[in-house]
Amino acid sequence: MVHGKKLARETLLPSVLEDDDAETESERLQLGERRVSQTEVGVRGPKDQRSSPDGNMVDGGEREGKEEEEEKEEEELGGEECVVSDEDYDTDLELDKEEAYDPTGQTCYMEACETLQVVPASYFLRQMLSSELSLMHRGLGPQGTKALAVPLVTNTSILRLNLRDNWMEGMGGAAVAEMLKENCYITEVDLSENNLGDYGATAIAGMLKENSTLVSLNLSGNHFTDQSAEHLGPALITNTKLQHLDLSHNALGERAGQNLGDSLSENTGLRSISLAWNCIRGRGAVMLANGLGGNIFLRTVDLSFNGFGKEGAIALGQALKENTILEELNVSNNRIPPEGAIRLAMGLKANKTIKSLNDITVNQDFEDLYVAVKEIFPVLTVNHGGRIGTFRKAKA
């Protein structure tokens, strides 16, 4: 995480130029002092002769000496005041000229692109004041993403940011994460299909612990592994503002299921989460189901295309008996056998809030049970992937 911060700071041009500004200021001060010295010489001038009250010239004398000393002291005080005023005047002019406010961020973006040696994105320059910025499939890469993050730190117009499929990798993801720590206006971000990897996931997790504005985050298709979940899990406990999270199409496995299950049981912000197209199975599937049972805020959960199997389905059935908030659940293509489907259906029967259970292969027993439940809950809809042969219980 420290490394990510360092990378992001290096892209911020104001900090890069700080040393140059300091040297320039020093030169200005020295120039101001030389101007003052020249002014003092011209103002004071030689005073070898003085006039007496009657108009005669007087040389020397105690009275004239005192008056001369008093005038010198007054002139010295006046000279000091001139020094302060002159320096302030020069400095103000230079600040107005060099540090003028740029509401669009265009100047710092162009400078960042020059520093990082990337071609500026013309579309971004045209959309800097829009509420939504969509830069999908632009091939920004790590460096282009870092340059883009510089003006976004202080941008107050963009509320929705879509950077899908730009191959930003972990370095670019870290730059965006650092930007989101500072930006308090962006509420929706799509970073899907960017090959962020575990490095990028770590940076995103650090951002979630500090950001209090983000509502929706799409991290689909970023090659996250169980190591990513080790960082994202604790972040989901800390963050209470994020409502929609997409972690689909990654490589989250059994350990990820355990970490995320523990986190979801304590999370108070999420309203929807997608873990579709991962590898959550075995003990991880059971732990994740247990976490869903303890969550009282989630409304929509997508667990399709994992490997929940019989054990996971049984745990989900139990979770549905305990959960009184969940409305939509997708468990399609999870290799759930008839025994697991029956236990899942028993959980559905006890649940009072579920409205949609998507796409699982069922048998005749399940359909009979569904008909009975439908009479009690007319709004319940079950979309399944087909019917297999009737499941027959083993004879005694």
Domain containing residue 369: CATH number: 3.80.10.10
Asked whether residue 243 is domain-assigned, the answer is yes
**Is residue 89 pLDDT above 90, yes or no?**
no
Judged against a pLDDT cut of 70, whether residue 391 lies above it is answered with no
pLDDT of 49 strictly over 60: no
Number of domains in the chain: 1
Handedness of CA 275, 281, 285, 287 (dihedral sign): negative
In this predicted structure, what is the pLDDT of residue 375?
A: 80
**How confident is residue 211, by pLDDT bands cut at 50, 70 and 90?**
very high
pLDDT surpassing 90 at residue 73: no
Question: Regarding predicted confidence, which is higher, 29 or 186?
Answer: 186
Q: Do the domain assignments include residue 27?
A: no
* pLDDT at position 376: 79
Is 93 part of a structural domain of the chain?
no
For residue 80, tell me if it sits in a domain.
no
The answer on pLDDT for 363 being more than 80 is: no
pLDDT number for residue 37: 46
The fraction of the chain above a pLDDT of 90, given in percent, is 61
Mean pLDDT across 72-90: 47
Domain holding 375, by residue range, is 108-383
**CA proximity to 275, closest of 310, 201, 224, 234:** 224
In this predicted structure, which of 19-28, 69-78, 262-271, 295-304 has the lowest mean pLDDT? 19-28
Give percent above pLDDT 70 in the chain: 69
What number is the average pLDDT over the span 117-136? 94
pLDDT for 235: 98
Say if 69 falls within a structural domain: no
Segment 336-365 shows an average pLDDT of 85
Q: In sequence order, what are the beta bridge partners of 189?
A: 161, 217
pLDDT over 70 at 71, yes or no: no
Q: Do the domain assignments include residue 317?
A: yes
Residue 235 lies in a domain: yes
Residue 56 has pLDDT above 60, yes or no: no
- What pTM was estimated for this model as a whole? 0.71
Please say if the pLDDT value at position 335 is more than 50.
Answer: yes
Within-domain flag for 379 = yes
Worst-scoring range by mean pLDDT, 69-83, 141-155, 196-210, 216-230? 69-83
Q: Which residue has the tokens 């990897």?
A: 197
The pLDDT score that the predictor gives to residue 386 is 61
